[in-house]
Structure 1
Amino acid sequence: MSVLNGVRLTSEDMTYGNIPFIGATDKNNGITNWTNNTNASTDKNVLGINYNGSVGEVFYHPYTATFSDDVKRLRLKSSTSANKEIYLFIKTLLLQQKNKYTYGYKFNGTRMKAQKIMLPVMTQGSPNWDYMEQYIVNLMKNVNLPTVEPIKASTVDLNSVKWKEFEIEHLFDRISSVKGKTIDSYQSGTMPYITTSASNNGLTGYVSADKNVTTPRNVITIDPIKGKTFYHVYEFVGRGGAGSAINVLESKYLNKKIGLFIMTMIESNSFLKASYGTQLNGKRLRRQKIMLPVTTDNSPNWQFMEEYIKSISNSRLI
């Protein structure tokens, strides 16, 4: 396979549009933003594999997308074999190697080229592409996919409003850290317990705890190590501690839809900057800049954010 680099694209240089921007995340098929920018990394029908962020995570991209410099592109050298089924087969084999790589031992281009995977072969030793393709075809025949309503096409144009850069400290009424202890410090209860887990909205259990360690509802949380954000419509206890404690953003303007819009903007930057060595908290978090749509007086256009999320969602999603 050919190993191709992504291209660095800062938030300052990015224009928002309809092209998926692929970043170093483990969610949403690698899509961390939508852009109009194209460059040498713009590609399709490739695997995207994370060099930074969620190191070693792999996604298949049949559509045209622009790739961050934290993501490498893997393209089969044989164009006749480069179809969806074969890429999905190889993706699974690459994911089996994921645990070998971390922030300190990154899956860089040199290691990717040297990485070995097991493939079915023909009698003469060449890869058996037909077998791989048919295996995935047969596998998908036995998968019962859920039936859902299609997502509505957006009727709100991101380019119809003016955008402005804001520091996070100027957007929120309060920025704080959670105060909870480890989950073993509490008895079982009904209060959600939130950690830096990247799945299930950070929820890892339910505890019984005093009000003085409880975080209020309708807030955004940020993991300072991975930059992952979640919106919480409920009160919860968050695991505190040292500098890696979850950060909490509170604002009188927040609701779930506005929160989801802002979370996307925060994550588009935080995945590039947060790590064990550079934690996203304190002054670094407060001075983190994000782009938001604004009104004629250059204040955040909360109504537009809410209407945009409404326009791209249906009742089963939000």
Structure 2
Amino acid sequence: MPEFKEFRVGELFGDEDFEAIKQAKSQGDIPNDENLNTSVPYIVQSNQNNMFSRRVNKAWLIEHNEPPVSGNRIALGVTLPAVSFQPEEFGASQVITIKSPKLNRYTGNYIVTAISKHLVDFSYGNKPGLKIYKNMKITLPVTTEGFPDWQYMSDYVKKIEADYVKKIEAYLQTLGYSDVESVRLTETDREVLYRHENAEFADFFINELFEVINTHSILKEDVVFGSGKVPYVTATEANNAVTAYIEYESNLMENGDCILIGGKTLVITYQYNNFFSNDSHNLALYWKLNGNLTKEMNLYFVSALQKSMHQKYTWGNSISKKKIAGDKVTIPIDVATGRPDTQLMEDYIKVIEKKTVASLVTKFNKRSNAYQEIINSQSNH
């Protein structure tokens, strides 16, 4: 086990490694492009989806003096706390990037994880920026000489991915799949995808479907992480917004089986268990129509709400209980009744889950053999 030491991010990289990319004046005009040969990912300061917004036309960016930048970089939000590693060439708006020969997919993701632990400290009134990022202290493994151990970071992330391959079969079993073959799409699954693609959709006011309440507010400095078994939910996108498990006053506990919207960050999650909330700006949504929503139905709503809201609300214009009363969500409907087709929503999420797991299996199986040598060598020391 190596020793660890704090480093300023500015110590790890030279001034020439940092590049600020200004906000694109024409961001809304950039055409989408799903052709992988003519497009690049477009990265924005968002704490969702690895900061990925969409794929856009590369030639258009070049012609309009907003050329894409090379990949193998860390991307950081300028006015909104966000961090990601971008392995390929990308276009961007209002981000800071770090480009260095020290970075690859493994070391880059290690550094991103170390930085992300500090993002919860920022808010709209306490924004990050180039100087703040450079002075940010992160904890890294060091060599015997006291320098950052880049090789250890790389091997560590590779080992995590290799271990993840071994866990896939166990994960499949928890989802009810007996083996890899069982996550391949069946004709029934393809029929669900077809029905969803051709379904009728309608807009519903959110408060028609859900009772919306503000949660309690329990500050981080008032709790002891690891003191109990109840999730402590904050603004973080990681780990389904659960920062720790705590014990606290039971009268301040929120009921689970709800959708939670981060009032300041717009991180939207499904909370199955009862939980404690860090901020009274957070909104808990409880289904109020007949019947109960399954986990998959709730996850569909999470995705639909993100799609409906993510371009509307920002740090400077955060969501609230009053504002959400005027917001709508677009979902499939049962044409015969005009009501939300929650069964289709459930079936669709189950198929998407199978597709996602199948993709992960394929991706990580390709790496398994390459990583096995590293795992064996580490186990011999």
Same fold (TM over 0.5): yes
SS in structure 1 at match of 2:164: coil
* 1:250 partnered with 2:289: no
C-alpha displacement of 1:223: 0.6
1:176 corresponds in structure 2 to: 213
| Cα distance in 1, alignment partners of residues 157 and 279 from structure 2 | 43
In structure 1, stretches of 5+ residues that fail to align are: 116-133
Q: 1:299 to 1:54 in 2, by over 3 A?
A: farther
1:120 corresponds in structure 2 to: none
TM-score (normalizing by structure 2): 0.53
Equivalent residues of 1:166, 1:291 under 8 A apart: yes
Deviation track 1:23-61 (CA, whole Å, cap 9, x = no partner) reads 5433443356xx8997956x8984684656754523326
Candidates 24, 40, 50, aligned match of 1:29: 50
Q: Give the letter for the 1:165 counterpart.
A: D
* 1:302 partnered with 2:342: yes
SS in structure 2 at match of 1:268: helix
Deviation track 1:102-139 (CA, whole Å, cap 9, x = no partner) reads 857676xxx8xxx9xxxxxxxxxxxxxxxxxx999988
Deviation track 1:1-44 (CA, whole Å, cap 9, x = no partner) reads 9959776569xx99x9x998865433443356xx8997956x89
Equivalent residues of 1:48, 1:71 under 8 A apart: no
| Cα distance in 1, alignment partners of residues 232 and 313 from structure 2 | 23
Equivalent residues of 1:218, 1:233 under 8 A apart: yes
C-alpha displacement of 1:175: 0.2
| Cα distance in 2, alignment partners of residues 263 and 220 from structure 1 | 7
Deviation track 1:192-219 (CA, whole Å, cap 9, x = no partner) reads 3333333333332221433x43322210
Equivalent residues of 1:8, 1:68 under 8 A apart: no
* 1:160 partnered with 2:176: no
| Cα distance in 2, alignment partners of residues 298 and 9 from structure 1 | 34
1:130 corresponds in structure 2 to: none
| Cα distance in 2, alignment partners of residues 44 and 164 from structure 1 | 40
| Cα distance in 1, alignment partners of residues 159 and 88 from structure 2 | 22
* 1:209 partnered with 2:209: no
Equivalent residues of 1:179, 1:238 under 8 A apart: yes
**After the TM superposition, which residues 80-99 of structure 1 pair with which residues of structure 2 at under 5 Å, given as runs?**
none
Q: Give the letter for the 1:222 counterpart.
A: I
* 1:218 partnered with 2:236: no
Deviation track 1:72-105 (CA, whole Å, cap 9, x = no partner) reads 99999xxxx9xxx857767877998987998576
* 1:261 partnered with 2:300: yes
Percentage of pairs with the same residue: 17
1:127 corresponds in structure 2 to: none
Q: 1:271 to 1:145 in 2, by over 3 A?
A: farther
Q: 1:73 to 1:206 in 2, by over 3 A?
A: closer
C-alpha displacement of 1:177: 1.0
**After the TM superposition, which residues 67-78 of structure 1 pair with which residues of structure 2 at under 5 Å, given as runs?**
none
CA RMSD of aligned residues (A): 5.2
| Cα distance in 1, alignment partners of residues 42 and 304 from structure 2 | 12
Comparing 90-99 with 298-307, which one deviates more in the overlay? Answer: 90-99
SS in structure 2 at match of 1:248: strand
Q: 1:175 to 1:52 in 2, by over 3 A?
A: farther
Candidates 69, 77, 84, aligned match of 1:58: 84
SS in structure 2 at match of 1:313: helix
Structure with greater proportional helix content: 2
1:285 corresponds in structure 2 to: 324
Q: Give the letter for the 1:59 counterpart.
A: F
| Cα distance in 2, alignment partners of residues 294 and 248 from structure 1 | 24
Query: Alignment length, in residue pairs?
Result: 280
| Cα distance in 2, alignment partners of residues 72 and 308 from structure 1 | 37
Comparing 232-241 with 54-63, which one deviates more in the overlay? Answer: 54-63
1:146 corresponds in structure 2 to: 164
C-alpha displacement of 1:306: 0.8
C-alpha displacement of 1:259: 1.3
C-alpha displacement of 1:276: 4.1
Q: 1:71 to 1:152 in 2, by over 3 A?
A: farther
Equivalent residues of 1:161, 1:294 under 8 A apart: yes
TM-score (normalizing by structure 1): 0.61
